[in-house]
Structure 1
Amino acid sequence: MSLVQALEARLADWQRAQRQRIRRQVQPLRAPVELPADQADCRGTTYLINGQPRLSFGSNDYLGLSQHPALIEAAQRAVAQYGVGSTASPLVCGHSPAHEALEAELAAHVGLPRALYFYAGYAANVGLLPALVGKGDAIFSDALNHACLIDGARLSRADIHITPHGDLSALDQALGASTARHKLVVSDAVFSMDGTVADVPALLTLCERHDAWLVIDDAHGFGVLGEHGEGVLAHFGMAGVNGVAPTWQGRLDRLVYMATLGKAAGVAGAFVAGHPSVIEWVMQAARTYMFATGAPAMVAEALRAGLHLIRHEPQRRQHLAALRAQLVEGIEAAGLPWALWPSPTAIQPLVIGSNDQALAVMQSLDSQGVWVPAIRPPTVPEGTARLRISLSAAHTAGHVDQLLRALRA
């Protein structure tokens, strides 16, 4: 059998199992949407999907910043100053004053000493873990961690221990039984398909007990959690714009914090923050940083504008919380046969069960002008195919009502 024939057989198997993904052409509608007065500058709820307008609940644009005029204008100014490309790796000539300022502002925002900007979140984690540990070391990874953490762990060549999702007792036992040179606990902060929040203080306490380090991926918490959108550390009162909380002084030295900037921040990229020596080593050793062309300066300037809005417009998070409460109450009142798993974040998973049923519900919503993606195995466990409802501060109460009507229908 040739390679082409083998791949065609695999594709046929995926089609039969309802696992094959379909790529769609998506274009945001730029016309302003009807929003409350304090949200009138937001866009990004309605898209042309394969040429058809759809109200979308599939985006990670949690604060509605991806179409914000302030970010667009910042990028346009930067294009005039820097051009459209960075031309090289950040360690050659791809690191501009815009990137330098962004890193300083990101570190101050999350309350950690130093930050390092990567062109993509996947690249950050795939480069970070091999930079920290290798052969003779051990990684302890939550069973529901994102694919980039899984791949980064594999590339590190450290021994990998998968622990049941959120099971602190199992993690405690695994750490205690390990004789590895260095131990690294790795976890999402907000799990992308469930919306659950990791118990970061408890994880760090276990790391202290067993002389381990902790890597937290706050892709879905940054910008959403915390009084000023600092993320999961502020959510637990550990650190934020006011610096490290007294209880956690010195204890965060064994934590490496990572967050992406293509979700709530509305643009692209990611950053890693922590102890200055750790961040310096990551800059020297992460291959995805050393050998990749840096993101354009226009991206950095757009992110600086987005970070300003995250910090100074708390009404976006307040509006998002109100939408989440409306959705939860509406689904409970509708008596739907599916379970909405509880989450304090913008991610609201409606678990359907089988692949074909999840696809059928997605297609029914699509026929009513509402786009919510169906998430199926292997992204989620077998039997838990779901609609991943993603709320945005750009949505209105009327948009949530439209979604609820479509679900009831």
Structure 2
Amino acid sequence: MGSERNALSWLDDRERERRAAGLRRELRPRTPATGLIDLASNDYLGLVRHPEVIDGAIASTRRWGAGSTGSRLVTGSTTEHAMLENELADFVGAEAGLVFATGYAANLGAVTALAGRGCLVVSDAGSHASLVDACRLSRARVVVAPHGDVGFIETTLRERTEERALVITDSVFSADGDLAPLREMHRIGREHGAILVVDEAHGIGVRGLGGRGLVHELGLAGEPDIVITATLSKSLASQGGVVLAHSKVVAHLIDSARSFIFDTGLAPGAVGAARAALGVLQREPQRAQAVLDRAADLARIAGVGAPESAVVSVILGDPQRAFDAATACRENGLSVGCFRPPSVPEGTSRLRLTARATLTAHELSTIETVLTEVLAPAAT
């Protein structure tokens, strides 16, 4: 018996390695009232505690119950799911929509169902982890394009031997907040018969007319060879994901997307909250511009370049330095994001500040005082 091996001993080795590299992570459960100014969440429009959004969640829960009771193809689809799908499609200018349980599941479903053997997938190096995992599961030949390199994408598509192809990208990249060259990517994709899949998780609610997203802003809304994926957990202050596309694409996903077919449907409360949040945004479209204005304020305070989205990235390099700076912010009343590898490349650990439309002048004054103090030693 003494020769038995401990099956979990390798986990101790991994933990020591992570601690030595400054990459150990811990959960920090929130309390209802933290007293912190929030620069870490993705509540871009400041709607997560909006009375109408909360009432929407409560009303749907009372009407339908706490859970959806099954997969969308069995008992998990309600008339409210269908209304949300139609409202989101109308909002971004797409023909149809399909709601998933999470944004992650929406990306997995869209890519795996549209790719498969005999397909080439070209994915931007900055694409979200859910798109990376979707590529791995797609059974297609996957080529990772250097970030924003349209020429590389064009060459790869031109030289392919596969009959079908997908080009995959975020519209707004989650770590740096920069924008994808969607117009050029779409032009190249169309020339070579490729579908463009665009994750608008950080675009909807922030970019475009009244927050309709970057695809809409660039005049590409409704193009049949563009598939939009998005989450309901950021600007729409709820939970869940959606694919917005041509009706043929949506019909295909209903038949083929495993993360749709085999997953429990989105809970009714989340559906009601998302519908209410979308209603607030449509009634108050100025919230989208307010996000960008507050992001510009944060960038000025942090001494970084003008942002193109709600994301303001302050690169500090060393993971421990970034962690220490985030901790210091928290101790002084600010909750900020701390991105370290593998979330970002080696040597680019950072504070990730996310703007919120409802940040007040008083909060901005406090933010300036704290960040000025924290970043001065952190940058040395």
- TM-score grouping bracket, smaller chain normalisation: over 0.9
Check if 1:374 corresponds to 2:345. Answer: no
Question: 1:205 aligned to 2:187?
Answer: yes
Correspondence 1:325 to 2:296: yes
1:109 lines up with 2:113 in the alignment: no
Provide the residue aligned with 2:19 in structure 1: 15
Superposition misfits of 4+ residues, deviation over 4 angstroms: none
| 2:349 counterpart (361, 372, 385) | 385
Asked if the contact 1:341/1:350 (under 8 Å) is kept, the reply is no
Tell me what 1:147 maps to: 129
Residue in 2 that maps onto 1:404: 368
**1:258 equivalent in alignment to 2:229:** yes
Of 50, 55, 58, which residue of structure 2 is paired with 1:76?
Answer: 58
Q: Give 1:183's aligned amino acid.
A: A
Asked if structure 1 preserves the Cα contact closer than 8 Å seen for 2:205 and 2:211, the reply is yes
Counterpart residue type for residue 319 of structure 1: A
Distance across 1 between alignment mates of 2:203 and 2:289: 15
Write the distance in 2 (CA, Å) between the matches of 1:406 and 1:59: 18
- Displacement of 1:344 after TM fit? 1.4
Choose which of 336, 359, 373 in structure 2 pairs with 1:395.
Answer: 359
Name the count of aligned residue pairs. 369
3-state secondary structure, aligned to 1:318:
helix
- Match in the other structure for 2:377: none
In the alignment, does 2:255 pair up with 1:284?
yes
The one of 23, 26, 30 equivalent to 1:26 is 30
Equivalences for residues 106-145 of structure 1 within 5 A: 106-145=88-127
1:224 and 1:303 map into 2 onto residues whose CA distance is 16
Cα distance in 2 between the residues matched to 1:189 and 1:310: 20
1:63 partner amino acid: L
Distance 2:173 2:76 in 1: 32
Q: Deviations over 1:53-84 (max 9, x none)?
A: 32221000000111110011111112221111
Give runs of aligned pairs for residues 127-276 of structure 1, distance below 5 A.
Answer: 127-239=109-221, 244=222, 252-276=223-247
Q: CA deviation at 1:342?
A: 4.0
Unaligned runs of 5+ in 2: 374-380
> Bigger CA drift: 152-161 or 320-329?
320-329
The answer to whether the Cα contact below 8 Å between 2:299 and 2:305 also exists between their aligned partners in 1 is no
Is 1:59 the equivalent of 2:41? yes
Tell me how far apart the structure 1 counterparts of residues 141 and 175 of structure 2 sit (CA, whole Å): 26
Q: TM-score, normalised by structure 2?
A: 0.94
Counterpart contact for 1:341–1:349, Cα < 8 Å: no
Q: 2:295 & 2:235 partners in 1: Cα distance?
A: 16
1:270: how far off? Answer: 1.1
**Seq. identity, %:** 36
Deviation at 1:341, TM superposition (A): 4.8
- Between stretches 306-315 and 106-115, larger displacement belongs to 306-315
Aligned CA-pair RMSD:
1.3
Gaps of 5+ in 1: 30-47, 245-251, 333-339
**Aligned-residue offset at 1:108:** 0.5
Contact 1:216 1:258 in 2 (8 A): yes
- Out of 277, 294, 299, the residue aligned to residue 306 of structure 1 is 277
Q: Contact 2:167/2:189 (CA < 8 Å) preserved in 1?
A: yes
Please tell me whether the aligned partners of residues 195 and 342 of structure 1 are also in contact (alpha carbons under 8 angstroms).
no
**d(CA) in 2 for partners of 1:190 and 1:99?**
26
After TM superposition, give the deviation of residue 11 of structure 1 in Å: 1.2
Asked if the contact 1:121/1:260 (under 8 Å) is kept, the reply is yes
User: Which residue number in structure 2 is paired with residue 96 of structure 1?
Assistant: 78
TM-score (norm 1): 0.88
Is residue 300–residue 306 contact of structure 2 (8 Å, CA) maintained in 1?
Answer: no
Show CA shifts across 1:266-314 (max 9, x none).
0011110111111100111111111111112222121111111111202
